[in-house]
Structure 1
Amino acid sequence: MLIEVEAAGVGHVDVMSRRGEFGGSPSPGLVPGIEVAGVVVGTGEDVDDAWVGRRVYAMLDRTGGGYAELVTADVEAVVALPDQVGAAEAVALGFNALTAWTSLERAGVRAADEVLVRGAGGGVGLMAVLLGIHLGTTVTAVTSSASRGERLAALGVPTVVNRLAVAQAYEEYDIIIDPVGRPEFDHFLEKLAPNGRYVLCGGAAGFPAPDFGSTLLGRFPASPALLVLSLSSISRAELRARMEKLLELVAGKTIASPVDGTFPLAAAAHAHDRLESGAAFGKIVLVP
């Protein structure tokens, strides 16, 4: 189907594509962007014309194309938007919330768990914090910015700590959600409680050094578990079903999907600069 874009999400996967980190140098004419929200303006063969005029969220593949005024998407990757959810809100939720929620599920989250979230001011980290609170866990949010710490506290996060302070502290956590990777990856592995579960769901600061396994094996008696998550391993059908549930939560004001700011398409480079600076709080959105 053909979608007139109202909002396109900006994420670290776009930065990695721009850098050529998915199989070599980027091809000339690369258009990043793997998620958009907008209005369906046309359908292809074997697609119900009833989609035309509907507001939708669409998941694109890693080849991108979302930084545009018009995009095409497979109907299997499209979710209808509730009236209460705006286009920017939808992409702010999007892959960030899908990654966060799936990470918590993979870790076998329970209401009694103590959960630590790294990079809590970023897109995935912030959604992991908000979903963790929604699920009844005790959440500790890690950030390196005092201003983002204040904003996290304002959202009802019970404990906000500086990343260097928590790396040096003695607390242990049942679950650690990590979209950051380096630096301090080894230090955070050591914060797992016995039978704790660590989910590495991104590498915003780079992936761990190859020798990280020595830290994990050094805690062998505590039976730590390290899980690695990429949404690429999950079917579109499963992602669609989860996205529908997440949109219901936002529509019902159960959780928020914070937008850091919006940029016009022509300022995509500035949007990437802000993302790479680490200053963003929530999702950066491009608006045609």
Structure 2
Amino acid sequence: MKAIVIKAYGGPEGLAVVELPAPEPAPGQVLISTEAAGVGGVDTMIRSGALADYGFAERHVPGGEVAGVVTAVGEGVEMSWIGQRVWAPTGNGGGYAEQAVAPAQEIVALPAELSAVDAVTLGSAGAVAHFGLAHARFAPGETVLVRGAAGSLGIMTVQLAARDGAAAVAVTTSSPARGERLRRLGATHVLDRLGMGTADDTPSAYDVIIDVAAGENMPAFFDRLNPGGRLVAVGAVAGRPPATFGAGLMAAFQKSLTFSTFSAATVPPEELRAVRGEHFAAAGRGDLKAVVHDVLPLDRAALAHHEMDAGEVFGRIVLTP
């Protein structure tokens, strides 16, 4: 089968198209003929070598989620899955390939009206957005700031916060044009990347901040929290925050602020499946929008990573074999 591997850490030119043996499903797994593979920020971090300490070796196949048709099942998996269209997580890799394996307990059947491209735009991002807001103890009537809102995860957080009753949904983004697109998805206030806004009604602080970016500027956003406010880091596309970032929390001791991280790896598979199924059904009805930046053939994965590195992606890039 055709697949993409990281032949050398660094820039997108380190990605190569190769032929690999098709994987076989182990017990508890399914084999999927890939129709679409999502390109995520973590993929670019793995490719760059930033996560080499986590065991990602060169020759690694990137890609954490796919959608397609189940063609074989491993021992212990119901045969009825064969022939079904599904969304599937491939863990920390394996998605940039014509065939991929995934744990059967985590796959989700797709409604007929939802495309494979839309499924990988919503699947991982929607679950992290949902459970990230829950981790922040978000409640209707509270104000929310989404930091780094133009990617698929930020876009889903904006939509869910607006749908679930936020009093205001502010976003940080890099341009007024992006801000207007985010307004059409539920944002009420558009800020620059440092969290500054110009409208008279822009909130000065927020009850919840969902931070997709992290990076060196993250500590400054503790100043943008209301008393009792919660900042949850759900990503780190801008890199790790400085080692001293906790000093800002201590400086605001009397505001009782909370900082935490969130990873979907801590959520039971059955809960993830239920939420993803609800999101797929909602998208099929038109109640949630999958925002796709570009659809590229699998062998243009390097171009997809160039676009990601340039920081101009709005939504998700999807690869199709």
- Output one character per residue of 1:160-212: Cα deviation in whole Å (capped at 9) or x when no partner: 22223528987010000001012421211110000001101110001110101
1:212 maps to 245
Indicate the larger mover: 255-264 or 160-169: 160-169
Tell me which residue corresponds to 1:134.
Answer: 163
Q: 1:165 to 1:98 in 2, by over 3 A?
A: closer
Aligned match of 2:273: 240
1:86 aligns with 2:115: yes
**What are the residue-to-residue correspondences of 1:178-197 with 2, within 5 Å?**
178-197=211-230
CA deviation vs aligned residue, 1:216-238 (integer Å, no higher than 9, x gap): 11111110011111122223232
Q: Counterparts in 2 of 1:22-171, with a 5 A limit? A: 22-23=52-53, 26-62=56-92, 64-137=93-166, 138-164=168-194, 166=196, 171=204
Q: Is the 8 A contact 1:19 1:26 kept in 2?
A: no
* CA-CA distance at 1:78 after TM superposition: 0.7
Q: Which residue in the other structure is 1:250 paired with?
A: 283
Task: Give the C-alpha shift of residue 22 in structure 1.
Answer: 4.3
Q: Does 1:286 align with 2:315?
A: no
> Which secondary structure state, in structure 2, belongs to the residue aligned with residue 210 of structure 1?
coil
2:74 aligned counterpart, secondary structure: coil
- The answer for the alignment partner of 1:261 in structure 2 is 294
Report the Cα distance in structure 1 between the residues aligned to 2:76 and 2:56, rounded to whole angstroms: 33
The structure-2 alpha-carbon separation of the partners of 1:175 and 1:156, relative to structure 1 and needing over 3 Å to count, comes to: closer
| Counterpart contact for 1:167–1:188, Cα < 8 Å | no
**Could you say if the C-alpha distance between residues 251 and 163 of structure 1 is closer, same or farther in structure 2, counting changes exceeding 3 Å?**
same
Aligned equivalents of 1:225, 1:44: Cα separation in 2: 44
Q: Residues of 1 paired with 2:289 and 2:203: CA distance?
A: 32
Aligned with residue 223 of structure 1, among 241, 247, 256: 256
* Offset of residue 26 of structure 1: 4.0
Distance 2:54 2:116 in 1: 32
Q: State the Cα distance separating 1:283 from its structure 2 match.
A: 1.0
Contact map agreement 2:149 2:212 (CA 8 A) in 1: no
Determine if contact 1:125/1:179 at 8 Å carries over to the other structure. Answer: yes
Does residue 19 of the first structure (1) align with residue 48 of the second (2)?
yes
TM-score, length-normalised on structure 1? 0.94
**Aligned positions, number:** 287
5+ residue gaps, structure 2: 1-29
Structure 1, 238-247 or 202-211: larger mean CA deviation: 238-247
> Secondary structure, in 3 states, of the residue corresponding to 1:206?
coil
Deviates more, 1:156-165 or 1:207-216: 156-165
Cα 1:170–1:83, aligned 2, differ >3 Å: closer, same or farther?
Answer: closer
CA distance in 2 between counterparts of 1:77 and 1:133 reads: 27
The aligned amino acid for 2:277 is E
Secondary structure, aligned partner of 2:244: helix
Deviation string for 1:220-268 (max 9, x for gaps)?
1110011111122223232222211221221221111211111111110
Q: Does 1:4 align with 2:37?
A: no
Higher helix residue share: 1
Whole-angstrom distance in 2 between the partners of 1:46 and 1:206 = 40
Distance 1:54 1:184 in 2: 45
Deviations 1:32-56 (A, max 9, x none): 0010000111222222221111110
Structure 1 unaligned residues grouped into runs of 5+: none
Paired residues of 2:151 and 2:313 also in contact (CA < 8 A):
yes
Q: In structure 2, how many angstroms separate the alpha carbons of the residues matched to 1:87 and 1:248?
A: 13
